[in-house]
Amino acid sequence: MSPAKTGGGGWDIGGRDASQAMGAIGDALRLPDPFPQIMAILSGPLVNGVERPEIFGNARLVTWQGDGSIISFSAQRDTLTPQFAPQPRFQIDLSGSTRIEVHLLDEDLEFHDPVGHFQIGANEARVALRANRIVPVRVAEQTSRQVLFVNISAFAVP
């Protein structure tokens, strides 16, 4: 997650200015493999005192035949590296145009802030399947840099 909303505002009122962290993340996104550098920024001193979001959302399978069922989830409070519970799981056809669509919000008292809406497709799932491990998928460009990466894994189904 980005330490600030698009436009530089904090996720909640009263946090430290995140402009230095945002600048460092912008620089890191220009690297060939920015994920390790961004994770170091998100766990380092540039984000000390920055307000963090309370993420919740949903995911669904999208195919040419229509949309699948929606899986809702939430994450830990006040974190820039949320883990979702329950973890959304889908069976997808790697040869087709099936996509997983994810919609994330920041929970607030009155109005929930939109965080990001992104899709992950068969290409990303194939990369995770070949790697046989959890892999980061860059989604920053789909979410105005509010969500930077999402980690996915894939398993072959007999």
Boundaries of every domain in the chain: 55-152
The one-digit pLDDT tens for each residue of the chain (158 residues) are 999 998 888 998 878 899 999 999 999 999 999 999 999 999 999 999 999 999 999 999 998 888 888 999 999 889 999 999 999 999 888 887 899 999 999 998 888 999 999 999 999 999 999 999 999 999 999 999 999 999 999 998 87
Positions of E strands within 5-128: 55-63, 66-74, 99-106, 113-121
